[in-house]
Structure 1
Amino acid sequence: MKKHALNVRVEDFVAWANREGEAHGLTDQVIAQDPDGSIGVSRFRRTLAWHIARRPGGLIALAIQYGHMRTVLDARTSSGYATRGRRGARSVLDIETALAAADTAARLRDRVAVGENVSGPAARRALTAAAQTPRFEGRIVPKTFARKATAFLARDGVVLYDNPDAFLICAFKRDTALCEPGPGATAPRQYDCRPGSGNTVRTDAHARQLRERADEIEQPADHAPTPVGTRLRSHANRLRVTAQAHDTTAQSAEALT
């Protein structure tokens, strides 16, 4: 399928979604007319990238989606390797990673502003980094932004990565990372997050999520075979112990800074 046909499909989807929204009285969910013109695949591509990149391991999925192996090779020298486009996906990867890190910093600032406490060996460093990271309010991303994103991510120790699957924030610092990042890496291996890392940061919200996840895991334990049920209960207990450790050690932002 060529670009023109894909653009038509995107616009057809917008029209269908709006008809469905109006038919069901969901007028607040219709897709508004864009003052800059049609969405098209070139713009829809960035929307997909935004959602993919904001999950643990999302950059790997993003690399697969855009046919590029930079995240696997984890080296700047591979920026021209295995690309399907003229420039590859390096700029998309760095831009989305930088914007996701900025969002993580903004959320951390918001949480401590409403009184949530923070724990973890990197808590003080994370709060300092969050205070210094500008909030991304949304704007056109020019070509020059890719270079700025690369420089932003190269600041070892002060870039914050959200990991909702591990219920923590990683204030990534290569020397204290237990996920064994490669030489010159600017991001953690979020799929290999390990307990005891010196980059760990948790808030009260993470502790609540840990307990909620423990309850979810424990529900099927009574109906599972004994070995499986035992493992489920053990996992749930570890999550609750982690949450309790946060409650015991967490401090306010004022106390840490």
Structure 2
Amino acid sequence: MRTVLDARTSSAYGSRSRGGVHSVLDVETALAAADTAAHLRDRLADGEKISGPAARRAITAAASTPRFEGRIVPRTFAKKAAKFLARDGVVLYDNPDAFLICAFKHENALCDPEPDATAPRQYACQTDCGNTVRTDRHARDMRERADEIDQLAAAAPERIARRLRRNADSLRVAADAHDATAQSAEDLA
């Protein structure tokens, strides 16, 4: 929804800037970010390894982000959510389509966020960004997706099959890079 209702395109006609639906998006985004931090904290506690330029920042963020326990969200939570999202560098955004977590820090972002943005543009995620973090689960998911793409390539015309195989190969290279550089949370602390 944040992509569709980007503040640049939806803050004019029929909207009141960051009020209305955008405050609801802030609440949902803050809850999703808290879930991402909690899941990362749990996976690291289970021994999963982490890699990427923002790995240390992600470990710190995961340790300091409160867990949402399913309480009722009051109207006043929208302001708290906006304040939570404004914590530059310590809010984690899961991007399963890019097989990574973004430890969003505005100055490092390659997704070209607006000057006052508090969240990355997940549809414009760049894998070589300084905010990226990968876990062992991301590497496994990349390999599974590469296998699926290889199956598609087997049934595709040759020119398309070559592109698909290149895509699958790049996913495997990224997964191998994670395996080569991944460390436990204790090693990074």
Compute the TM-score of the two structures, normalised by the length of structure 2. Answer: 0.94
Q: How many residues align?
A: 187
> 2: distance between equivalents of 1:143 and 1:195?
36
Aligned counterpart in structure 2 of residue 100 of structure 1, from 32, 50, 53: 32
Give the deviation of 1:144 after TM superposition.
Answer: 0.8
Matches for 1:68-217 after TM superposition, within 5 Å: 71-73=6-8, 78=11, 82-83=14-15, 88-217=20-149
Report the counterpart of residue 242 of structure 1 in structure 2: 174
Question: Equivalent residue of 2:39, what SS?
Answer: helix
Provide the TM-score with structure 1 as the length reference: 0.70
Give the counterpart of 2:2 among 26, 37, 59.
59
Is the alpha carbon distance of 1:74 and 1:166 closer, same or farther for their aligned partners in structure 2, counting shifts above 3 Å? same
**Pair 74,126 (structure 1): closer, same or farther in 2 beyond 3 Å:** farther
Gaps in structure 2 of 5+ consecutive residues: none
Q: Partner of 1:180: helix, strand, or coil?
A: coil
Calculate the aligned-residue CA RMSD, in Å.
1.6
**Structure 1 or 2: larger helix share?**
1
Alignment partners' CA distance in 2, 1:246 and 1:173: 21
Q: Deviations over 1:170-190 (max 9, x none)?
A: 000111111111111101110
What amino acid is the match of 1:182?
A: E
For the pair shown, the structure with the greater C-alpha radius of gyration is 1
Give, in angstroms, the shift of residue 72 of structure 1: 3.8
Deviation at 1:81, TM superposition (A): 5.4
| Code of the aligned partner of 2:2 | L
CA drift of 1:221 comes to 1.1
Match of 2:161? 229
Identity between Structure 1 and Structure 2 (%): 68
CA shift, 1:191, in A, is 0.3
Larger RCO of the pair (alpha carbons < 8 Å, separation 6+): 2
**Distance in 2 between the 1:227 and 1:95 partners?**
45
Distance in structure 2 (CA, Å) of the matches to 1:107 and 1:171:
14
Q: Is the CA contact 1:214–1:236 (under 8 Å) kept in the aligned structure 2? A: yes
Given that residues 202 and 246 in structure 1 are in contact (C-alpha distance below 8 angstroms), is that contact kept between their aligned partners in structure 2?
yes
C-alpha contact (below 8 Å) 2:98/2:127 kept by paired residues: no
Structure 1 moving runs of 4+ over 4 Å: none
